[in-house]
Amino acid sequence: MSPSQQRKPAPKKGSKGGKKRRSRRSRILRGALWTVLGLIVLVVIAFVVAYKAVGIPSPNQLAAAQSTVLYYADGKTELDRFGAVNRQSVPLSQVPDHVQKAFLAAEDRNYYQNGGISLSGMARGAWRTLTGAGTQSGSTITQQYVKNYFLTSNQTLSRKFREIIISIKLDHEKSKDEILQDYLNTVYFGRGAYGVQTAAQAYFGKNVSQLNVSQGAFLAELVRGPALYDPANGKQATHNAHARWHYVINGMRTEHWITPQQKANARFPKVLPPHQQNAASGPTGYITQQVKQELENKLHLTEDDLARGGYKVTTTINRQAQRAAVKAVQDNMPSGAGTGDLHAGLTAIKPGDGAVVAMYGGRDYAKRQFNSATDAHLQAGSTFKIFTLLAGLRDHVSTMNRYDGHSPQFFPEFQGPQNPQGKVSNYGDEQFGYINLVTATAHSVNTVFAQLNIQVGPANTMKAAVDAGLPPRKQNCTPSSHHCTPGLNANAANVLGTASPRVIDMANAYATIAARGERATPYLIKKVTGPGEDYSAKPTTTRAFSKDVTADVTDAMEHVVTEGTGINALALGRPAAGKTGTTDRNLAVWFDGFTPQLSAAVAMYKGDGTVPMQNIGGFQGLTGGTYPTKIWTAFMQGALQGQPVEQFPPRAGVNDNLVPTTTAPTTTTPTAPSPTTTTTTVPPSQSSSSSSSPSPTTTTSPSPTTTTPTPTSTAPSPTSPSPTTTPTPTRTKPPASPSGTAEGTGGGSGGGAGGNAGGGASPNLTGAVPGAG
């Protein structure tokens, strides 16, 4: 072994090297000890200073400041409020001992022994969180009381420190019974109920003094999270409630607060169904509910957070526009026989931004919680033709392209079990010659749009609808879905409106056109401030269509107002573009349109959406050109009052260079299948819309060819005059309708090659209601 590998002998006791090492260790230990003592002194000093500086707010003062206030877009005018305290205080002597003990079993079994805080409980909760065993606050009842009603729920060290200080101070300045009494009188139980007395009424319809052991245990379990344990919230909440209830009952027995016999006799109590708490009356309640949902979805504010309140919410709702919406519906809905269960939905959106500036979901939210603007899925009817027009212009089509407008026509693509002939008809079999797409849009000519959809492809029509803003159709999409569009399929009949969007979706889709192709996401919350929140909305937009494409589509839609089915909107007195829509048997009627500043959609239906709107208000059948157009016009007049008149961009002439300049060929009449079949009713399983209308003044001019074109089974070769010239169509007027327009139902298409288009006009979410013409 080399000298270097030999172990050095340990220093002898008393040697100089050993003394040096011991001296160094002693210095380190003394330094650490003084550091710890210094930190302890600092903590004690900080605690003493904080203890003297922090005051205890009064529960009554806090309760008065709990409402969450909703404001109009100006941020000053109150729209509504929720979270207002619904509370009736009772002395602790009126709360049975077994009810008091149920709360201790659920939340703090050592309540009467601890000093306001539980160090072991906080350590245990921190350990469970760190080890992934679940979150547990470890808070005493005193700490919960302080956190929920004197502070915020923010998980910060400074908030936790204040919670501990106030809890200790409260425990020293008040008796345990006083703290428990205040806690039970202010804690939130869900259903708008603050305090154990109000909760007893809300869940059991009796006073707290009448509650038995099982009922007291149920109320105690709610404190942990009312939304999680209220059986009215579904199967999972029911399961949670039973499990938590057993935990409370077992805890009461473990602590010897109930006898073995009482535990054996305990049964999960029967809970009353919820009734509407603090619901805003009238149309305002629908907005309040939508704002609440957006707060929960976007800001993750729970029901408990919102109920405790203290938030200022500035909405996007414009006060002038909202008042105009309510007045427009109230003044223009039909009255008399058969109108008692008519419903209207209206939504207005700022183009290029997505802000919802007005919403009408119904007459009174307190009586009917179904929002006709956001919950009802209604077949779109002819309002859907605009998406085929958008698809066409993106696919080498010009609005000057001309098509055969005769009725009926027969198309293999529209054949199906319900329509073996593939028959498509205009309303009342109204006859047109070769007309361009501007005229076809103005008068909602079904046979022309059927040809256009076949030419551009139904899948491209569906894509244009989604690009504009309709939620796509997803697997298991039902009329109760808010993030998909039932019936949105890629079959030939989709052009006639077999899909069932919501009013808010159509308002947003048309807002994309008004914004010259910029699609925005609708939103209702502009700004939120309050406990732990400082939120400002940031609108999101996406380029969906080119400016030139939307300019030409807007030009065609202007003709709907100036000469077509939506002529009632001329009363607006400023540039407007829109489209009417009516479904088979008048189950749903629409007018969707926009000005440069504002887009709005209006829809009407009867009952649950499966009841025809016929023989109402003097009309054999309501159409989109009647009451919906009048409501839309009256709303726009009020909403835009005082705003400058703006113009639409000029027509861009997309694909005009591709329009043929030759004369339309003479076609031969195909052999009509089954000449004995004369019905023009659209098969229920396939199509939704057929709408066309004469102008207020109808003129007739020679057909573009020497012979009258006859129906063909395929789209004819289009012809056109100069791209800037709109030809006057050859027309035969159908019987005049009471509205002065012939926009309506009665014609229609057969089932598309894709089979049943699905979807439904039924807003009661009971299932699909097939569309028709």
Active site residues: 107, 382
The residue written with tokens 């109402």 in the block is: 616
> What percent of the chain is helix, strand and coil (3-state, nearest 5)?
40, 10, 50
Tell me the C-alpha distance between 83 and 66, whole Å. 7
* Residue 267 main-chain phi, psi, to 5 deg: -135, 145
Which positions ≥6 away from 439 have C-beta within 8 Å? 432, 445, 559, 726, 727, 729
Q: Which of 556, 543, 472, 481 is nearest to 512 (CA)?
A: 543
Interacting residues of 114 by C-beta distance below 8 A, sequence separation 6+? 108, 140, 142, 171
The kind and range of the H/E element at 536 are: strand 533-536
Give me the sign of the Cα torsion angle 432, 412, 549, 537: positive
Q: At what angle do helices 385-393 and 458-468 cross, to 10 degrees?
A: 100
DSSP states of 46-97: HHHHHHHH-----HHHHHHT--EEEE-TTSSSEEEEE----B----GGGS-H
Whole-number Å distance between alpha carbons of 419 and 673: 11
CA 122 to chain centre: 40
CA distances 34 to 23, 27, 30, 43, 565, Å, are: 17, 11, 6, 14, 89
**How many CB atoms are closer than 10 A to CB 471?**
19
What's the CA gap between 231 and 239, in Å, rounded? 8
Calculate the dihedral angle through the C-alpha atoms of 177, 180, 186, 188, rounding to the nearest 10 degrees.
Answer: -160
Question: CB–CB of 447/562 below 8 Å?
Answer: no
